Amino acid sequence: MTEISEGSSENASLVRVAWLAGRDTFASMGHTLTPLAIGLMGELVEIALVIPRDADRREVPSPPVAVLPGPGGWFRPTKSSVTALAVEVSKRQIDVLHGLDAAQGQLAGQLARLSSLPYVMSCHTFRGVESLRHCDPRPDAILASGDVIAALLQDVLQLQDDRIQIVRPGVHPYGQITCFTDASRIPSILVDGRCGDFGAIEVTIQAFAELHRRQIDCSCFLVGAGRLEKRLRKLGESLHVRHELTFVDLTTASQLPEILAGADIYIAPKASEGVNLWALLAMASGTVVLAADSPEDFFIDGRTVRIFEMGNAGDLTEKLTKLLADHASGRQLARQAVEHIRTAHSPAGMVDRVTGVYRRLLSPVNA
């Protein structure tokens, strides 16, 4: 498992890559895939995107990404659809295939076999690690989004070479610290409601209710609760904070950075099963992150985030109380997080590493 840096050279030749995406790939990872696509264009990498016809394409960067025609339902590709796609890949003189998430492993493997092309798979979640176990043939390179994912891939797949590469997601820092900037404004807390775990989100509302009982001024926004919203509204009523809670639905992923930048504190109530891109974007936005203990590479307690015990409302309440009483310490934490993003999660570094993987696969040694 290595982090490679094999960037462009002045005499580099054009590399044509087919990105394989699912229906939700760009909705979930668009904020890191967009700077990757734009950066690769500067490295003489031309991208064609295979995406289901019924997928939401609003987050697809165009240019520089051209979209290949393809039927819906790539999760279970038929033999005829893969054959037709192989013909299109050949017409476009594609050099490398790249599955943008592990769910595209079956399609990528079949297409690689038909086209006799090397293929790369990205892996961002623990569930994705298990999916890659079934790839046939095995990917020529796997891009793990962090150390924990890379170690698990090595343990599960038992690869004996350097096929597992660490490529950390790159995001652009907001440019300024946005939390606790206006003393006249009531601090705002944004709760990530996407986890689907009522118990985990319940703890955040309980903590907010206790802050309200202590007469600590703050507002609370719960984003992306989905099917849990009705139950959570009832919980707010029972805790006498229903009118102080605001439920927010995201219509597009492009709204997220602005929403995160508008909050003073972002709470990730449940340990993630992979890269929590919302938390990463919150850090890049200069917002303080409070997170349930999770194996994220960028969750460094006291340096980039404040960690609380998942399910422990008392622990979360006390950490919120300290942050709301000491804005200076919160801004310092946010400042350190932004600096960490600049050094460890820069889009330029991500582009450099992915370019290096593509070119290494096409080098005479590996041909």
Residue 327 belongs to a domain with what CATH number?
3.40.50.2000
Is residue 284 in some structural domain? yes
Residue type, 73: G
- Give the total number of structural domains in the chain: 2
Same domain, 100 and 158: yes
Residue 230 CA from chain centroid, whole number: 27
Long-range contacts of 207-211 (CB under 8 A, 24+ apart): 207/313, 207/316, 207/317, 207/320, 208/241, 208/244, 208/245, 209/236, 209/239, 209/240, 209/241, 210/313, 210/317, 211/317, 211/320, 211/321, 211/324
Buried b (16+ CB within 10 A) or exposed e, 280-296: bbbbbbbbbbbbbebbb
| Per-run averaged pLDDT (10 residues), the chain, 367 residues | 50 90 89 94 94 83 75 65 92 96 93 96 94 92 94 89 92 88 93 94 98 97 94 97 92 81 95 90 95 89 96 97 96 96 96 97 76
pLDDT at 141: 96
Residues 366 and 145: beta-carbon distance below 8 Å? no
Is residue 258 in some structural domain? yes
What SS3 state is found at 19? Answer: strand
Using the structure block, give the residue that is written with the tokens 């289901």.
52
Residues 305 and 282: beta-carbon distance below 8 Å? no
DSSP-assigned letter for residue 334: H
Same domain, 121 and 47: yes
Same domain, 319 and 354: no
Same domain, 140 and 198: no
Rounded to an integer, what distance in angstroms lies between the CA atom of residue 164 and that of residue 121? Answer: 10
Residue type, 206: Q
DSSP-assigned letter for residue 213: H
Is residue 226 in some structural domain? yes
Is residue 181 in some structural domain? no
Same domain, 83 and 136: yes
Is residue 5 in some structural domain? no
pLDDT at 178: 87
Same domain, 213 and 337: yes
Same domain, 155 and 194: no
Same domain, 133 and 201: no
Same domain, 25 and 162: yes
pLDDT at 307: 96
pTM: 0.91
Is residue 2 in some structural domain? no
Instruction: Read off φ and ψ for residue 125, nearest 5 degrees.
Output: -135, 160
Is residue 106 in some structural domain? yes
Rg, C-alpha atoms of the chain: 22
Same domain, 337 and 278: yes
Same domain, 27 and 147: yes
As given in the structure block, the two tokens for residue 266 are: 């972002």
Same domain, 337 and 358: no
Residue 153: give the domain boundaries. Answer: 15-170+346-362
Is residue 367 in some structural domain? no
pLDDT at 282: 95
pLDDT at 358: 97
